[in-house]
Amino acid sequence: ARVEVRHASETLIATLHTVAGELLGAGEAGLSEWAWRRLGAREGDSIEVAHAPPLTSLRAVRGKVYGHRLAPESLRTVVADVVA
């Protein structure tokens, strides 16, 4: 699942993976080094995790899968979401 991770005023979209065992305690999350730096967070800081907002281009992609035309504006939206 894609999730939105927030710390202070910084936000990023991440892929959620669950782990079993004692690697992380209850209420803990592990982040990549890049994500730590991007959020400006340090070990022990609190973060917020929520569902990622839906991509607006998904509707256009679904339509194309079902045989509908992809309008130029929809194509621009798809490309913008891919490169974001």
- Burial of residue 63 (CB within 10 Å: 0-12, 13-18, 19+) is middle
35-74 tens-digit pLDDT: 999 999 998 999 999 999 988 899 999 999 999 999 999 9
**Whole-number Å distance between alpha carbons of 3 and 53:** 8
Per the confidence metrics, is the pTM higher than 0.75?
no
Domain positions in the chain: 2-51, 55-84
Q: What confidence score (pLDDT) does residue 74 get? A: 94
DSSP states of 13-48 as a string? Answer: EEE-----SSSS-TT-----HHHHHHHT--TT---E
Query: Does the structure show a pLDDT above 90 at 75?
Result: yes
